[in-house]
Structure formats: structure tokens, C-alpha cells
Structure 1
Amino acid sequence: MLPLFNSYSTLYTLFTWYLGMCYGFVLLSSASGQNGDIKLFDIGTLVSYKFHSTVILNDRDVGAKDVGFYIDGIVDIQTVWEKDNEKLLKVELNSPQLHIKSRSSHSPGGFTPHSSKLESFPNKPFLIAWNNGKIEKVLLPKGEPLSLVNLKKGVSSLFQFQISNGQYSETDTSGHCTVTYSSLSPSKLVKSKTDCSSLDLPFVRNPDKILGTRVDSSRQTEYKLNVGNSYIKSIKAKETHGMYLNANEELGGYIEASQLLDFIKSEPTETVEGDSIDDVIEKISVSYGVVYTQETLLTERELSEDATSFSKQVDKLRHLLKSQDLGTLKGGKAFILLVNTGRNATKVDISKTLESNKNKNILPQLYDILGYIQTKDTHEVVMSKLNIAHLKNKEEEDLCERYLWALSFSSHPNQNIIEDLIKKYTVNSKIVQKVKETVVLTIASMTRRLATLQKNNQLKLVKEVEQLIIEELEKAKGEDRYVFFQALKNLQSESSIPHLLKYISNGALKEGALAFKALKSFRPTLWNKDVLKVAEKAFFQLDRKYDSSSRTIAADMLIEADPSDRLLKDLLNFLLSPDAAFEVKQHLFQRIRMVADGNPYFKQRVQDIIRKNDRLNNYSTLAPKGLSTALMRYFLKSPSVNGSLVSIQEIKSGIVKRGTVNLVLDKDGTFSELFSLGIFSTGLNSFMSSNADEADDEVEESTTAGMELTVLGTQIRPFVFFEGQGELMGHVWSGTGSEKTTAFQVLALLYDHLEYLRLGTGFVAELSLRGATSFDLSGKIDISLWNRNAESLVEKSAGIVITGSIKIDTSFVKSQMEFSSSVEPKLNLQTNIDFSSNVHLCMRLSQPESVFRHNIFKTERIPGSKHKLRISKYKINTLPGRTYALNKKNSDMCNAIFS
């Protein structure tokens, strides 16, 4: 019996497998009229369905109260004409009724019926041209409100489907989508939509993985046919869309939308005679007295009626834009509101705002805002007010720089503006030098961002800008060349690497250091063998002498590029070398320790090399002389993203020659530098006690000190505090640096996302998420030649505001989920230097206490009604202050100074 049982089992298995593989094809054939078993939408038949369409908005908290609504009614579908596979369906949406959320309702889900404009809308039958599951056109009665038109398109889209397994490209109320059909049984199939796009609707995004916004979508529809496969028994569509901040996935919200058609009855109905579908449409139009307009299934967004002009919005928010409030939350909140309003502003409106005497004291902030708006109109107005080639005074120069900075920081640059700036730069030779430098830096940064946004590193514009910068670099002489290295740093074009390597190998010492800085800003995947070979030569000075900054940057690159065992061994053995540049040795050792602290595998490799060499594995070698430091300390750890402070201080003769403090975010191995403060100085050795042990392998440089800032990956023109000993001594004797002075202020948009999402229900959701920072950088310095000491303080203050919303805005109901988060972080870097005998340098990096607020608001209202539902939730977290431990050597020196 066993062999017989096995044979029947095998036969049964093959049969069920064959049936499962084939029924999709059978259904497809039937729908095409090649099989009589299934014939949907029979001519002369009316089918009635219960209709239910729901939209729910909520935040991410489990168990949170939501807002939303649903519409129900009866949908009647009549097949009034048929020819071959083409059918004309007359559809009526009868008695649509709005149900809204109510605290007092006892019904499931908390919904209750409510009167609205929906019931009073003119509502006549509409027509669908249906051919083998595809809707070729929708004919809608002319003059009906857009809200009702979109709702009817949502109903129509439910009847576009293919009864077969396979993947298609379709357009419906969700947009242009990739659609996959999966048959679950001979009478049930599932339709899944992915990659839906709506290129005709406004779309703004930040392509940065960390500073970007993620929108996750799922769309699925289930179709059930009756047992005889002669009509659709039910259609159930469900979709979810979540909008979340990449850097903090707790900030966001989601939409749930669903549609249901449930069979009620089927009965005979009248038909319309005609040779073609157009003849039949004409007859129906005359019969019902309706003028039909032919449309696609794509829905249209409804424009808000309560838009405020830019000038009026500025009037309301002017008190929040004062310079003294930058670095606080006030400026950030106003900034977001004005960017939103300004993107729809007219030239007249913008001009009126800039010309108003009331706005004279906030003009720098207004130019920040206009730089982020970046429309054709805003740029033309700004250029008419600030003629780059003929700026009248220092005030106009500063305003022009503020506008250009904002352009360069924006995540979605306007190509037309870039091209206009290139034209102005190349045609006008009389541009003020500092503005000219800012223009070329802005062009480079905007071009890089445009290529990133379009995912096209071979963009023609990139080549044009690179060629412009290289040509200007070759023409310039001496210090005039420096800005073009910084421009190449902002552009980050791979094809510029050979030019940078040329200046490292053959250029002046300072040019080589600037070229290294540019290369360091490129993503490490672009550090090819040629780059790393030059870095190795520079660090070990194999072919010539290099500036110490070139050597320390080269060391950073070699360590970050996952060095081979041979190279790592050579780097560690450098600590044993007779090279007298002990600050370079100290920097190397500190960087190796910093990387090892965050990378267990790298740490093990380092320990293995040290343990095998007795000369390395001793205190004198592993405690090299020098004050240079390199360290990383976390200021944020969360499931979504980590934040760290990276401080690198290259010291020469007890003075910071090159120092940086970077704020870096890290998500899944991707790093994003939010802000970098760099301090540089040269020629200050004479103010310190001499160090005969320290190598002086560099040319004598002029006495200079300054600051350079990199904001959101864009370096701006460096600020020079003084040039020459005469200017320095003037500051020392007058004490002009001893009062805290603002060095840099700006309003910047960190997060920028705007998306209009077409829902299958026919409604269009607006998803908006923006985050702004109001930033202030201030500092002071006291130098006492009598006591031979100095004290400096650098304060970074920021007000960070993030606002997001999900809206459904129709003429008969409005639902919205909104959230906002805010924090005012500060970071202080205090440095004390005592050079009365031996040089002692004490650095203290601290972060004062701050408060993080997260508020959620959900509202629902019905235009023309007193109904308004509001749900609010408030969260407050105190972020404790902290002082960052740097290293033991720094602690010892602090003790020596303050003991």
C-alpha cells in the first residue's frame, strides 16, 4: 500500500501546484473575454456597494489619541454601454456623510456624524471608461468642488485592477506607481503599490542621510469576487504613510487611510445605444443636462485660503528677529514661519519688506531667510537691492555676505541662481575682495549640493565650476590663491584631486596645507592610492619638508583610511624616530588613541604592534612630549543617531596653530558634520618662551590669527582677527579683545522637507518638516604681557527648533497632526595659557544644562461649523550640563596653572 500512497500523494501535490500556478492566467484570460467563467460589469447591470473612506492622523506614541474622519455612502455602478472590451460605467456616489472624531461619541473609534459642506455640494453621476481593468479616462460633471472631484477619483481608482499575477506601471489617485498583483485564490487577489511619485506637485527634500526626512509608505488593496466570479464582492484598500526625522525617529507622525466597497445588491438597469463611447457620453450629457470634463485619475491639491503675505508675516514676527535674540529659540521659530511664507511671495511683496524702515534693524536676518527661500523672484529682488559689483558701503557688503552664506548652506540650491552668480563673478572685476571670495565659495558649495540632490556627480555644471576655480587658482599669486583651495574643498569634485596633489608636492608650504584640508573634506572613498601615497610622503617627509599642518592632516587621513599592518607599524615606530617635531608625534599618538577608543579591532592591532616592540612598549615612548590633543567625546547617544564632539588641537610653541572643534552626527556608520569651528595662528612664537627642542622646519610667517567656520559642510570665508605684530599689539594695549564680541551670527535651515502625498482615498496630504537654528558665536581674549599669560573664551549658542506637520485640507473638513521640538544648547571652550616660565596650556570644554521640549498638537475642524477638536501633549526633558574630560596631560597643566 505504501507505494500506491506515495504515488497518489505525488499526483495530488503536482495537481495543486499546477492549479496554483495557473489560476492567475485563467483569471486574466477571463477578464479579457476569452473565457466565459468571469465577466465583470455585465452590460445592463447595476451593482450597489456600501462605501466607506477613512483618514486617521497620529503621532508615534503607542496608545496616543488620533484625529481623523470618515465618509460613508452608497456607490451605484451601472454598465450602460459595451463594445469589445471597452465599457462605459456610470457611477453615483449617493448620500455621502461626514463622520468626525468626537470625545463624546460612544461609537467604535469615537466617530460621530456631523453636517458639513459635503452634503450640500452639487453631486451628479460621473462616468468611467473601463477597458480590461484599466481606466482610460474619467468624465466628471463640470463645476463640482475640487474636494468632491478628488473623492470621486478615489472611488474610481478602486476599479483599476488586473486579475493576474504580474508587475505593471499604473497611474491613479496615488500617483505614478509600480503595481504588483498577487492572486491568493481563483476569486481573491491583492494589489500592492510601490514607488509612487507625483512629479507635478511641489517637493523639497534634504538628501543628507542624517539631516534628511524619511517617508515610509505601504499601499495594498484586496479584491474579492463572488463564487460565480460575475461581480466584485468587496474591495478593501489600506495604506499607511509615516514621516520621521532620520536623526530622531521619535519625532514624526503617520497617516492611515482606508477605503471599503461592500456588495449590497445587483439588478438590471437601462443601457444607452451608440456606435462609440463618445456618442454615448454625448447622449448621457444631454439626458442629464450635465457638461462633462475629461480628466485622469490624478488628484489635485487644494490651495489654502488663509495664506498671509510675506510683509505681514514679518510685521508679526519682527520682535523675534532681533540680533540680540540670535542664538535663542525665538529666532528659529520665526525663521521657519517666514521661509514657509516666503516661498509663495511675490517680487512686490519682497521688495516692500526690504524697503520698510521698520525692518532696517533686522535686514541681516531677512537676507538669511531670502537665501533659503531661493526662488527666482527672491533672487532678482536681492540682486536689485545689493548690486554685487557696486556695493555702496560696509553695511551692504555684510548683507550681501549674509545672503550668499544662506544660499551656500541651503540643501536644495537653485541652478538658475548658481548660473547667475557665475556670470556676475566672471563679468565683474570690481567686486569687493571679501565679497568676491564669498561668491566663489558659495558657487562651489551650491554646485556640490545640486549634484548631490540630483544624484549626478557628472553634472555638466560641476565641470564648469571646477574649471573656473582651477583657472582662477592658476592665475592668482601668493595669498590670493588661498580662497580657491577653500572653494575646491566646498566643491569636492573627484576630478580636482590631481590638481590638489600637485600643490601638495610642488606648492608653497601653506598651499600644501590648504590642499590637504580640501582633500580631508572629501569622503574617504575618494582617497585613492595616489592620495594616500602623497599623504604618506608628506607625513614622513620622504621627498621634501612639509608644513606641520600638512603632516598632521596627512596622519589623520592615513589613520582613517584603515592603514595596512605595514603602514600602521611605521606610524607607531615614528614615535621612536629622532624627528624633533614633537608636536607632530604627540598629534599622531593622540589620533591613534582616539580611533582605537572607538574601534576595538583597530585597538587590538595597535596593541599587538606595541607589545612586540620593547622600545615602543614603554612609558617614555607612549607619553610623548607635546601639548597637541585629539579626542572625541559623545554629547548624544540614542537609538537613531549618536552625536560627538571632536576636538583636534595642533600646538606650536604653546600656541594653537590649528585647532578645530567639530559637532558630528553618526547614523549607521554615516557621518555628518554639523558645524566646525577652526582657530589658526602663525608667528606668535616671540610671545612665548623659546623651545630649542622643537623643530622649526617652516619659513618665518607673519603674525596672524583668525577663525574659520564650516557650517553644514560648507566653509565660509575665514575671519582674520589681526595681521602683523603692530595690529596685535594695538589689541593687547587697548584691550579691545577683552570684551565678549559676536564673531558670527546666522539663521540656518537644518531640516527642510515638503511633500504632497496623494492618498488612494482621493485626498492630498501635506507632509512638512523643517528645522532651523539661530546661531551665535562669540568670544573674547585677554593677553597680559606683564604677567605673561592669556585667557580666551569661545561661546557657541544655538536655538534649535524643529516643526513638522501632516495635514489633510479640504473645503469640508480639515485635519492636522503637528509637532514641535526645541532646545537651546551651548558649548563653551575656555583656554588659559601661562608662558611665564614653562608653557602651560589648560583647555576646558563645557556644555551648560539645557531643556528639550517636545509638543504635539492634533486638530480637526469643519469649515462653516463651530466644531473644533484639539488634542495637546507636552513633554519636557532636562539635559544635564557637563564638562568634558580631555586628557591627563591637560588636567595636569590645569592643576599647575590654578594651583
Structure 2
Amino acid sequence: MNVLCVLFGWSIGVCYGFVLLSSASEQAVEIFESGRAYSYEYRSIVSLNEENRSGKVQAENPGGFSVEGDVTVQVVAEIEGGGRCLKIEFLSPKLRVPSKDRLVFQPSRLDATKNSPFFALWESGKVSGIFLEESEEVSMKNLKKGIASLLQFQLVNGKLETEETDSSGKCSTVYISTTDFPSNLTKTKSNCISPDLDKQEIPQNPSLSVEILSKRTTNYQFQQNPDRISSIHSREIHSAFLSAREEMGNRLETEETLILRRFGNVDIENSQKKAGKADEFVENFGREKGLTYARESLLTEIERNADGDVGKSFGKTVEFHRDSLKVAEVATTKQSRAFLEVLKAARKAEKRELLDVLKAKKNKEILPQLYDVLGHVGTQEAHQAVTKRLHFEKHDLTDLSERYLWALAFSPRPRPEVIKDLLDKFSKLNDIPEKVQETLVLAVASMARKLHHVHQGTFEAVQETILNNLDYAKGDGKLKYLRALRNLKAPNTLPVLFKYISSGTALEGALSWRAVEAMVKDNRRLNTTDVLSEAEKTLFQLNRRHDSSARTIAADILIEESRRSGKLSGKLLDFLVLPDPNYEVKRYVRQRIEMAAERDGEFGKSAEKRWKGERLLNNYSGASPRGLSVSLARKFLEHPSWNGSLVAVQEMKSGVVKRGKIDVVMEKNGLEDELFSLGIFSNGLHSFMSGDEEEAEEEGTSAATAGIELAVLGAQIRPFVFFEGQGELMGHVWSGTASELTPAFQVITLLQDQSEYVRLGSGLIGKIDIKGAASLDLSGQIEISLWNRNARSLVRKSAGIVVIGSTGIDSSFVKSSIEFVSSIEPILNLQTDIDFSSNLQLCMRLTQPETVLRHTVRKIEAIPENKKETRTSKNRKMSVPGKSYNFNKKNNEMCKALFG
């Protein structure tokens, strides 16, 4: 006979679970009373589909399956202390899978797997344990835990908030009923956690994050005379999608139902009896039936080999994707996808296998890409394999050393032991090349920053190393440590940075301000009185003469504070009115105020009002200030989730870009997230220009230098210097070595890396996995003609971006999944043309060529037992039109003069 066991208990006068409930009228209610057997029809439906945040009805049939059968329940023993033991049997479980537009029965492992009665113990309305036959498969045990979890509830009058553990994990649970005897009871579970299951996610850029939303609701219907459960209906929805594009994601839905079909009396005289311990009762039952039972909790278990086949080894995976990893495929989606596959294999590989791949001569051409992979693996074992082959002090390994350190800097999950090893090498190896040394200190600063909440000791060790070396360094040796403080973003280093701002060299002051700016962007609460006071001293040169780059960064901080307060600072207004020998700084400040006004309506109204009230600004001369400096923001993405902007800044000196940058910024509800920043800098090039009035010379700006700076996902890397000194510059001019498009920086990095298991109320376990990667290339070229007195430069930033997201269930009797793959290859060109043959003409053009966004969705249902598999797929393509971004009226006029 099919039977169910449950313990009951009272708490503070309220009876919970299948127990006597005292209503206002003192009428006793007993559910699942002794001497009766209840038979229910059971169905569990799993649906897998694309995420649908728009609310539109989707026409296609979802993937998924259902499990169906009968469940019988009966009280078989009363346990000492007032509890009860019930026995449940799950009869004739069957599997249905999709076929055309409906679900049909298919033979599966469920048909033949061992399936014995099981017992559930109740105490105070909760299932305190469940007895399952030891030799049953994990998949069958999990289904039974799901059935027992459905029967766990508390009868209440009104509302009860509590915490329960069942097949969904440990959850915050709310019960709501509106009647004395709840003919309708609703249970809602939220914040379900499973600390025992693997979970990994990137704790960095918000716009790149993955959101996982879950909703779990169960409704209970009761009948009276006699009192019984007539139906249970449970529904869950688990959505996983990209924060930046909510339509890129998957949805897992489940519906469980238990519907009462019949009940009746049953002779249980021989089996129902008093028992001091439930364990003894179950043991006796098992001995009679030749079964062995073990007590377990309601928490479900991951099946062994639930991830399906192990896949190819690391070596074979590298071999398969070798061509895709080569330099020829840089900035393509093909390379990004290959990177994700190789990374997956590398995380499972042992140190010996990793070393063998690095040693193989056939992999020599793709070593930079392999170091990208191993830097993102980030384990101690992978790091040991790399350092067996890669010696930072060897000059011929400089490029590979930097490539690996960049990967570590960009990796979302740095390991404390790896940081410790890098610090040891930095301290003990005296002959590390300067480039590698700077990249190493920048990398450990970026890595420590990501760990500062969980490994404070590691963070403090890195900070101490940077500050100590900064104190002892001489001359330009200090610069790399100031850049490292920009990556570390430690608020308690502000006094040190202020010291270099007030008394350091011009370049030290500018780099210190960049570190302060990075901190303020990361934490707006750091925009304190001290920071603002120091910014005023720098912009208005109250304590000393400052480099123009330091002044413009200080202006940015002051303008941002004005924007946040909603009022244009009177001091900034005075600065625009009063004379200043460096008119490009004034031009820059005005441009930044106008940009802030465009992006913030309230601030714009305030600024316009004050602007119009200032007669020295509100005139023709004030409306057309002298200078070529530019500051603007242009939308490249408008979306309900996040908007994207290109923020372009050009600080000019004598017609040449002294400091310029283009930031890729994502925005949502006032939150800004900077993903990439490309900077250009130069000094001492004004001697090539003719006729223009010279600005006041600044300290340290006479030597001819030029280069680029790059920050990726918040991590600043060392600057790339094109030339240093007039002689090296003239060598490039006469030889034309920079006239071809030349790569300056290439890397493959992770964008998303979210993976977690989700326990479902039905007893099944879902897995969500979303990974994204970008293959990046930064290239440039410059042509200078002294004969024609003109110059042309091009900076190209290109990427191949791929995001792969899968949601599925992998059990011994069925495998079902849905996967999306999104890919795009965007390009951004910044072209500058200068004619200094007579009147200076400077034309800047920022363009984004047309590209295509591809999105593929695949659904797979497979039955391992009979090797039956069904696949469906859908492909979409969306053209992203090309754009040419408008700078300003003056730039347009000069472009027209140059090109007609």
C-alpha cells in the first residue's frame, strides 16, 4: 500500500502542517487523518525559452519536458512527542518530450530505475528529514525530495514570515491566508541560497553583469468534510540575462501540480502503531521488504557526471582552435569564441598538461593568446605552469611577460597567492626590464583592488609595496608607482597624492590627479572638501603653476560636483570671465560645462540661467572663445537597459593634441560605468606649427614625446611611447616607419563569467552559464610631411565580442537546454588631419563603420537512454548603421576648409 510519513507539532498555540488547527470557533481541522489513503495525480513541467522582458507573446513553442505519475499518501505511524510519520510512493513515473507542437511520452531511464516507497518526517509543520532507499539513483531521490517539499507548508491565519529549507535550498518563506480555515493558502519563497553548490561570477563592471531573477510561488487548495488537500500548484521562473541587453538571456520555468483523484479508508491495523523513534519504524519496514533506508535532508544533490561528457583535453582543444587563435584573427568573434572554449578546457587541466602545451613548438605562434587564457584561469596551478616557462627578467620574453600580466590585471578573479608570488618577484628580481617591471606593479595594483573587500591583508601588502617604492624612487622612476596608485584606488593614499600635486614635478602632479580622478569616479563619496579644495588650488593655480593636464582634470572634478549639486559654481564662472594666459584650458572648461549641461537637464537650466546673467560671457566673443580644445559626449547606444556614450576629450596646445581620450561609457539611472578608455598624449610638438602665438611654457613639456594610454575594464596599463626626443621623432618622419597601420595593443579578455546551479522545487537542478569574451586590437598610424607642412593620424580600436549563455537541466533520464550566442565586431576610428602650411587647420573625425549583430538561439532535448536528441535553432541578424560623430561647429568649419 502506498503511504506517507510526517511528524506534526504545535508552536505558540498555532498548529502547522498536516495537523489539527484550532480556528476561531475552536473547530479542529485534521488533514491526512489516520486510516485514510489519498491518491494524487502528479505532473512536473519544465519549459526553456528565450528571456522575454518586453512582455510580448512569443509564438514559438518552448523547449523542455514533463515528468508525470501518481503519488499516494498515508499516515503510518505516530511518533513520540506528537509527530507523525507518513509514507509516499511515486508510481509509474513517465517522461514526455517535445514533438512538433506538443509533449509526447518517450521511453527513458525513469521506466526501469529502482523506485521504492519513501518516508517523510514532520516536526512543527516542517519536514525534518526524509528516508530514501540507499541504492536508488540520485535522479529518482531528487524527484522524491521535490514531492516531499511540495507537502511542506504551515497552516496560518493571516500572514507568516519564516525561513525554510527544502528542495529549493534555504529560503525566506511567506505564507498568506485570508480565512480561519484556509481554503486557499499561498506560499512564496525568495532569496533561496545553496552554499554547497558551485557558483562563480564577475564582481566588477555593473553594465557587464549578469542578472538572475527568480520567482517561486505555491498555491494550496483545501476541501472540508472531510478536510483534505484538493490540489497543489507550484510555479517557478528563473531568468538569466545580460544587464546591458535584457533581451539577451534565457528563461527556465517549472510547473508542478498535485491533484486529488480519490481517497478512502484503508486497513492499516498491522502497520500503524506507536513508535518511540521514526528511525526504528523505517528500519523495521525496510527489513520486512528487503530494503535499506538512509535518512537525508530535503536538499537535492547534483548527479555525478551531470555536466555531461568531459570534453576534449586542453591540448586537443588548443589544437582544434589553433588557427582561430592566431594574430590574423585578432578582433574577430571567431577568436573570442575560441578563447572561451580553450579557457573552459584550461580550467580542468592539470599543471603537467598546461606545461606540455606551452612547450610545444607548434604552439609558438599562439603563445600570446595562450598566456591570455592562462592569465584568466587565474589558479595557482596555472600560474606555476606559466612561471616555469616565463621568466620576467629575460629581455627576449618581454612581450610575452607583459601579455600574461595584462591578462592577470583584467581577470575578474585574481588569487591572493598569485599576487604574493608577483610581489616576491618584484622585490627579489633586480634585472626585470623596465617595461615588465611597470606592467607588473600596475597588474598587482589592479588585482589587489578587486580583492580589497575579501582579502584586506593582500590589499594592504600591495599598497605598502607601492608606497615604499614611491618614496625611494628617483626622477621618472616615481611615475610607474603613481600610475599604480590609479589602479589601486585606495582612499588612504589621497594625502600622498596631494603631496605630489602641490610639490612634485608637472608630470607627477598630472599623474597624481589621474589617480584621484579614478578614485572619485569609483566612489563619489570621496569627492570631499579636501579633494575639491585641492582641485581649486590646481585649476586656479593658487599655490603654484600647474601643468595644463593637471588643471583640466581638476576642472573635471569641480564640474562634476557642480553637476551633482545642480548649480554651476560661481568660481568656475569667474574663471571663464577672468583672463588666463592658457586660453586652451579656459576653452576646455567651457566645453566640459556645456557637455555636462547637455547630459543633465537640471544642471543645464541652472548653467544657462547664470550664463545669460553674466554679460562678459553672454556676447559674441564669449560665445566663440579662442582655442581648439574639445569636450563632448555622443550616444552610440540607446536602449531600455543601459545607454552607451562615447565621451571624447581633446586638450590642445598650439594646435597639437596634448592630451586626448575617448571613453566608452555605459549609463543607467545616473550610474556611469567606464568600460574602455583610449588616451593620446604628446609634448613638445608645437615647434612644428607656425605663426600661432605661443602659450606660456610649462615645466617639463619641452621634450618631444608622443604615445597612447589605455584602460581596459578599469585597469590602466603602462603608456605606449611612440618616440622620445626630437631625434627619434625625425627618424620616424624621414623613414616613414609609422605610416602603416601598426598594432600597439592586442589582448583577449573575459567580459562575463557567470555560472551557478539553481535548485528547483521539483527536485531537478538547473545550471545557468553565461560567458562573454572580447578580442581587442588597438592600432595606429601617423604621417608627417615637412615639405607640405601637414600631418595625418589614425587610431583604430576594433573588437570581436561574443557572449554565450546557456540554461539547462542535466539528469540521468533527460537533458534539456537552451543556448544563445550573440556576436558583433565593432570598429571605432579617430582620424586627425592637420595643415600648418599657413593658417592652422585641424580636422578631427570620429567614425563607427557599419557592423552586424548576430544572435542565434538553440534548443536541445536529449534522452540518454535511447540516444534520442531533438535540436531546433533560430538565427537573427541586425544591422548596426555606421555613424560619423559630430564634434562642434569650429571643427566642422576646419574640416570643410581642408576637404571642401
Query: Do they fold alike, i.e. is TM over 0.5?
Result: yes
Q: Per the alignment, do residues 131 and 231 of structure 1 end up closer, same or farther by CA in structure 2, a change over 3 Å counting?
A: farther
Is 1:101 equivalent to 2:98 in the alignment? yes
**Cα displacement (A) at 1:36:** 7.5
Deviates more, 1:757-766 or 1:616-625: 616-625
Which residue of structure 2 aligns with residue 306 of structure 1?
A: 309
Distance (Å, rounded) in 1 between the aligned partners of 2:130 and 2:349: 35
**Cα displacement (A) at 1:520:** 1.2
Which residue of structure 1 aligns with residue 43 of structure 2?
A: 52
Q: 2:107 aligns with which of 99, 115, 130?
A: 115
Q: 1:77 aligns with which of 57, 73, 77?
A: 73
> Could you say what secondary structure the match of 1:210 adopts?
helix
**Cα displacement (A) at 1:566:** 8.3
Q: Per the alignment, do residues 823 and 97 of structure 1 end up closer, same or farther by CA in structure 2, a change over 3 Å counting?
A: same
Q: Which residues in structure 2 correspond to 1:30-179 (within 5 Å)?
A: 31=19, 37-43=28-34, 45-61=36-52, 62-63=57-58, 64-83=60-79, 84-103=81-100, 110-164=102-156, 165-179=159-173
Is 1:516 equivalent to 2:510 in the alignment? no
Q: 2:233 aligns with which of 231, 236, 252?
A: 236
Q: Per the alignment, do residues 30 and 305 of structure 1 end up closer, same or farther by CA in structure 2, a change over 3 Å counting?
A: closer
Residue 51 of structure 1 contacts residue 72 of structure 1 at CA under 8 Å; is this kept in 2?
Answer: yes
Q: Per the alignment, do residues 32 and 355 of structure 1 end up closer, same or farther by CA in structure 2, a change over 3 Å counting?
A: farther
Q: Per the alignment, do residues 46 and 730 of structure 1 end up closer, same or farther by CA in structure 2, a change over 3 Å counting?
A: same
Distance (Å, rounded) in 1 between the aligned partners of 2:791 and 2:425: 44
**Cα displacement (A) at 1:397:** 2.4
Q: Which residues in structure 2 correspond to 1:474-493 (within 5 Å)?
A: 474-493=471-490
Residue 644 of structure 1 contacts residue 665 of structure 1 at CA under 8 Å; is this kept in 2?
Answer: yes
Q: Per the alignment, do residues 90 and 664 of structure 1 end up closer, same or farther by CA in structure 2, a change over 3 Å counting?
A: same
Q: Per the alignment, do residues 502 and 229 of structure 1 end up closer, same or farther by CA in structure 2, a change over 3 Å counting?
A: farther
> Could you say what secondary structure the match of 1:664 adopts?
strand
**Cα displacement (A) at 1:325:** 0.7
Distance (Å, rounded) in 1 between the aligned partners of 2:345 and 2:387: 20
Distance (Å, rounded) in 2 between the aligned partners of 1:548 and 1:788: 26
Deviates more, 1:144-153 or 1:221-230: 221-230
Is 1:224 equivalent to 2:204 in the alignment? no
Q: State the aligned residue count.
A: 866
Q: Per the alignment, do residues 341 and 294 of structure 1 end up closer, same or farther by CA in structure 2, a change over 3 Å counting?
A: farther
Which residue of structure 2 aligns with residue 206 of structure 1?
A: 202
Is 1:351 equivalent to 2:355 in the alignment? yes
**Cα displacement (A) at 1:326:** 0.6
Amino acid in structure 1 at the alignment position of 2:336: G
Deviations 1:175-194 (A, max 9, x none): 11111111233133221111
Residue 757 of structure 2 contacts residue 766 of structure 2 at CA under 8 Å; is this kept in 1?
Answer: yes
Q: 1:315 aligns with which of 315, 319, 341?
A: 319
> Could you say what secondary structure the match of 2:404 adopts?
helix
Distance (Å, rounded) in 2 between the aligned partners of 1:398 and 1:805: 36
Which residue of structure 1 aligns with residue 416 of structure 2?
A: 415
Amino acid in structure 1 at the alignment position of 2:317: Q
Residue 30 of structure 1 contacts residue 38 of structure 1 at CA under 8 Å; is this kept in 2?
Answer: no
Q: Share of identical aligned residues, percent?
A: 45
Is 1:250 equivalent to 2:254 in the alignment? no
Deviations 1:338-396 (A, max 9, x none): 223332222233223222222221111111112122223222222222234xx4342x3
Which residue of structure 1 aligns with residue 431 of structure 2?
A: 430
Q: Structure 1: state its 5+ residue gaps.
A: 1-22
Deviations 1:146-193 (A, max 9, x none): 211211111121122222332222221111111111123313322111
Residue 37 of structure 1 contacts residue 229 of structure 1 at CA under 8 Å; is this kept in 2?
Answer: no
Deviates more, 1:293-302 or 1:472-481: 293-302
Q: Per the alignment, do residues 693 and 28 of structure 1 end up closer, same or farther by CA in structure 2, a change over 3 Å counting?
A: same
Distance (Å, rounded) in 1 between the aligned partners of 2:855 and 2:431: 50
Which residue of structure 2 aligns with residue 634 of structure 1?
A: 635
> Could you say what secondary structure the match of 1:614 adopts?
coil
**Cα displacement (A) at 1:295:** 2.1
Distance (Å, rounded) in 2 between the aligned partners of 1:561 and 1:434: 36
Q: Which residues in structure 2 correspond to 1:318-717 (within 5 Å)?
A: 318-388=322-392, 391-394=393-396, 396-451=397-452, 459-522=456-519, 523=521, 524-562=524-562, 568-689=569-690, 691-717=692-718
Residue 311 of structure 1 contacts residue 349 of structure 1 at CA under 8 Å; is this kept in 2?
Answer: yes
Amino acid in structure 2 at the alignment position of 1:482: L
Residue 771 of structure 1 contacts residue 800 of structure 1 at CA under 8 Å; is this kept in 2?
Answer: yes
**Cα displacement (A) at 1:43:** 4.5
Q: Per the alignment, do residues 689 and 160 of structure 1 end up closer, same or farther by CA in structure 2, a change over 3 Å counting?
A: same
Deviations 1:530-562 (A, max 9, x none): 101110111111111110001111111111112
Residue 566 of structure 2 contacts residue 602 of structure 2 at CA under 8 Å; is this kept in 1?
Answer: no
Which residue of structure 2 aligns with residue 723 of structure 1?
A: 724
Deviates more, 1:172-181 or 1:562-571: 562-571
> Could you say what secondary structure the match of 2:309 adopts?
coil
Distance (Å, rounded) in 1 between the aligned partners of 2:279 and 2:137: 25
**Cα displacement (A) at 1:880:** 1.3
Distance (Å, rounded) in 2 between the aligned partners of 1:136 and 1:585: 73
Distance (Å, rounded) in 1 between the aligned partners of 2:258 and 2:569: 68
**Cα displacement (A) at 1:640:** 1.3
Distance (Å, rounded) in 2 between the aligned partners of 1:45 and 1:398: 78
What's the Cα RMSD here?
A: 2.2
Q: Per the alignment, do residues 700 and 260 of structure 1 end up closer, same or farther by CA in structure 2, a change over 3 Å counting?
A: closer
Distance (Å, rounded) in 2 between the aligned partners of 1:769 and 1:423: 35
**Cα displacement (A) at 1:449:** 2.0
Deviations 1:284-322 (A, max 9, x none): 221122222332211122322312222222222112111
**Cα displacement (A) at 1:593:** 1.3
Q: Per the alignment, do residues 321 and 800 of structure 1 end up closer, same or farther by CA in structure 2, a change over 3 Å counting?
A: same
Distance (Å, rounded) in 1 between the aligned partners of 2:161 and 2:566: 50
Distance (Å, rounded) in 2 between the aligned partners of 1:799 and 1:783: 31
Distance (Å, rounded) in 2 between the aligned partners of 1:848 and 1:25: 72
Q: 2:186 aligns with which of 170, 187, 190?
A: 190
> Could you say what secondary structure the match of 2:276 adopts?
coil
Amino acid in structure 1 at the alignment position of 2:356: K
Instruction: Using structure 1 for the length normalisation, give the TM-score.
Output: 0.93
Amino acid in structure 2 at the alignment position of 1:59: E
**Cα displacement (A) at 1:31:** 3.4
Amino acid in structure 2 at the alignment position of 1:377: E
